[in-house]
Chain A
């Protein structure tokens, strides 16, 4: 049996490991090296330039726009999504099973769609003349609020945020309501008997007990906000416009590499994005390490 054991293990592990090393590990490792070179894609002509690319990033105004926009997305999108998600999930708790089931089905729809489909759809919704939003506003007599949502610098990023929130709320409603269902009913009944109002019940019972799910949600939504590539690339003018108003790091990287061929410089952007992601994950996971509530 000994012999067969090793043959099986090799057969099980080697193909996946080869794929992993060739297509995942080696590109990640190469990216760190490339970020220290001025490589433009010609084989063998990567010159080591040390930290030059990173210094240049600090003075690249479009890249700084991208960092600012990603930071804004990172603050707004998770907060708004989690707030709406928690609100709807605690509303679902009090509704009847059948109605709740129906709402869960509908809320989850956007989660199934590719971000490209969502971006094309919302491009139509935001269309200044024929879009759902402006024509709806005009239909109810609020035509004065109609805007060229994606063409005005003041609204373009907000429009992107709205799409990201719209596309993710449903998933977190389902996630949070599963976590809320896991809370023993007696706790809510006890809170009710102790005279806790709706807000007190939510903030003192529900929220502490779904804390881990909220933390996971922050990490996932944060990572999505640091990306935002597909929505921006497909939906916004330019893309990334108007005038850098919706530029994001991923888009800068993509353009720098595959339009301008500055592969070393683009890799430095990738490394910057990696450290942003890492910092986010570490911060979010450590902040919750304090005390764990144990249910008796």
Chain B
């Protein structure tokens, strides 16, 4: 017994399962943070089904009967549906363009030797270290002079321009690690440079493309500062912008249930998609920081 004691005392959690003593602290800590994280989200979803009266007088209770009307009102009358569609158009196009241009640049710089290669790489990558606020004022006038203020095209091009540097940075190292034998074999078979890229190298880079694609999608979908400055036309507001405008507009200040429904519409699709693809998404989101 004494022998056992002396062996046990310095060891906090003995390895043998029979004597395992579970410490409640980790469980409690994690549970608490999970509640702190999930409760406000859950509360917003539940509130989106309540009447204004219920929201004002009993914030913690469940709705007596679900008010689907709130969602309909937010989607049509408060234009959340239109903002949602605008976001889809702008982010979809910008994402395709970013992935195409970003992977082309990363591949060309990673797999071809030519004068100025390093310079071009640094010109792209250096832009990641500048705050967008610095560019904001001149950017507004550049976009205005091109006649692109408040247009889909303007937003798509600017989104792309600001998403390409990270995409290049991330995919550059990825293309470097791909084996060159397959590409060489394809060249011997008479493939052109473009065909080797699109048919051979791009499919090989799929894991990297998925990771950076997810990262870019969320970054662009949640963009607020750029549309706020470059997209003044309320008909073309993107989702984040429209929601922010609703939350401060006097007309909707009193429509609590409509606002909660709008908020829920803005956050639910992303959360549902996340739960479905969560492993990929977390890997994609943290990939940039882990590197």
Rounded to whole angstroms, the CA-CA distance of A121 and B282 in the bound complex is 23
**Closest A residue, CB atoms, query B274:** A112
Q: Using known A-B contacts A12-B105, A13-B120, A132-B43, determine if residue A166 contacts B36 with beta carbons closer than 8 Å.
A: yes
- Answer whether residue B127 sits at the interface, using C-beta atoms and an 8 A cutoff: yes
What mask results when residues 122 to 136 of chain A are scored 1 for a CB within 8 Å of chain B, else 0? Answer: 111100011110011
Asked if A19 and B101 sit within 8 Å, CB to CB, the answer is yes
Rounded to whole angstroms, the CA-CA distance of A175 and B41 in the bound complex is 22
A162 shortest CB reach to chain B, Å: 10
Q: Using known A-B contacts A26-B142, A193-B11, determine if residue A122 contacts B40 with beta carbons closer than 8 Å.
A: yes
- Answer whether residue B17 sits at the interface, using C-beta atoms and an 8 A cutoff: no
**Closest B residue, CB atoms, query A251:** B133
Asked if B30 and A91 sit within 8 Å, CB to CB, the answer is yes
- Answer whether residue B59 sits at the interface, using C-beta atoms and an 8 A cutoff: yes
Of A148-156, A269-277, A288-296, the one contacting chain B is A269-277
Rounded to whole angstroms, the CA-CA distance of A88 and B30 in the bound complex is 6
Residue of B26, B34, B133, B289 touching A270 (CB-CB under 8 A): B133
B86 shortest CB reach to chain A, Å: 14
Q: A8 to chain B: which residues have CB within 8 Å? A: 108, 192-194, 197
Rounded to whole angstroms, the CA-CA distance of A259 and B203 in the bound complex is 48
**Closest B residue, CB atoms, query A129:** B56
Asked if A266 and B275 sit within 8 Å, CB to CB, the answer is no
**Closest A residue, CB atoms, query B281:** A112
Asked if A16 and B162 sit within 8 Å, CB to CB, the answer is no
For the A-B complex, the count of residue pairs with Cβ-Cβ distances under 8 Å equals 276
Asked if A31 and B193 sit within 8 Å, CB to CB, the answer is no
Rounded to whole angstroms, the CA-CA distance of A229 and B131 in the bound complex is 12
Asked if B244 and A116 sit within 8 Å, CB to CB, the answer is yes
Q: Using known A-B contacts A5-B193, A170-B37, A274-B134, determine if residue A23 contacts B275 with beta carbons closer than 8 Å.
A: no
Query: Interface majority SS on A: helix, strand, loop or mixed?
Result: helix
What mask results when residues 88 to 114 of chain B are scored 1 for a CB within 8 Å of chain A, else 0? Answer: 000000000000011011011100101
A137 shortest CB reach to chain B, Å: 11
Residue of A84, A104, A277 touching B131 (CB-CB under 8 A): A277
Of A53-61, A75-83, A219-227, the one contacting chain B is A219-227
Q: A203 to chain B: which residues have CB within 8 Å? A: none
Asked if A120 and B271 sit within 8 Å, CB to CB, the answer is no
- Answer whether residue B12 sits at the interface, using C-beta atoms and an 8 A cutoff: yes
Residue of B30, B56, B108 touching A92 (CB-CB under 8 A): B30
Asked if A223 and B222 sit within 8 Å, CB to CB, the answer is no
A155 shortest CB reach to chain B, Å: 18
- Answer whether residue A144 sits at the interface, using C-beta atoms and an 8 A cutoff: no
- Answer whether residue B259 sits at the interface, using C-beta atoms and an 8 A cutoff: yes
Within 8 A of B (CB), among A34-74: 34, 41
Query: Interface majority SS on B: helix, strand, loop or mixed?
Result: helix
Residue of B130, B138, B260 touching A34 (CB-CB under 8 A): B138
Asked if A25 and B285 sit within 8 Å, CB to CB, the answer is no
Q: Using known A-B contacts A19-B160, A25-B123, A112-B270, determine if residue A234 contacts B286 with beta carbons closer than 8 Å.
A: no
Q: A250 to chain B: which residues have CB within 8 Å? A: 133, 225
Rounded to whole angstroms, the CA-CA distance of A289 and B192 in the bound complex is 45
Q: A258 to chain B: which residues have CB within 8 Å? A: 140, 229
Asked if A124 and B260 sit within 8 Å, CB to CB, the answer is yes
Q: A180 to chain B: which residues have CB within 8 Å? A: none
Q: B161 to chain A: which residues have CB within 8 Å? A: 19-20, 22-24
Within 8 A of A (CB), among B4-62: 10-13, 23, 25-27, 29-30, 33-34, 36-41, 43-44, 47, 55-56, 59-60
Within 8 A of B (CB), among A228-286: 229-230, 233-234, 249-250, 253-254, 257-258, 263, 266-267, 269-271, 273-274, 277-278, 281
- Answer whether residue A142 sits at the interface, using C-beta atoms and an 8 A cutoff: no
Q: B274 to chain A: which residues have CB within 8 Å? A: 105, 108-109, 112
A98 shortest CB reach to chain B, Å: 13
B227 shortest CB reach to chain A, Å: 10
Asked if A9 and B34 sit within 8 Å, CB to CB, the answer is no
- Answer whether residue A97 sits at the interface, using C-beta atoms and an 8 A cutoff: no
- Sample 14 A-B pairs with CB under 8 A, ordered by A number: A19-B164, A20-B165, A23-B161, A27-B137, A31-B135, A84-B33, A88-B33, A108-B274, A130-B55, A135-B59, A139-B60, A213-B289, A274-B131, A277-B131
Which 7 A-B pairs have CB atoms at the shortest separation, nearest pair first?
Answer: A195-B10, A114-B222, A8-B193, A30-B138, A23-B161, A27-B135, A27-B138
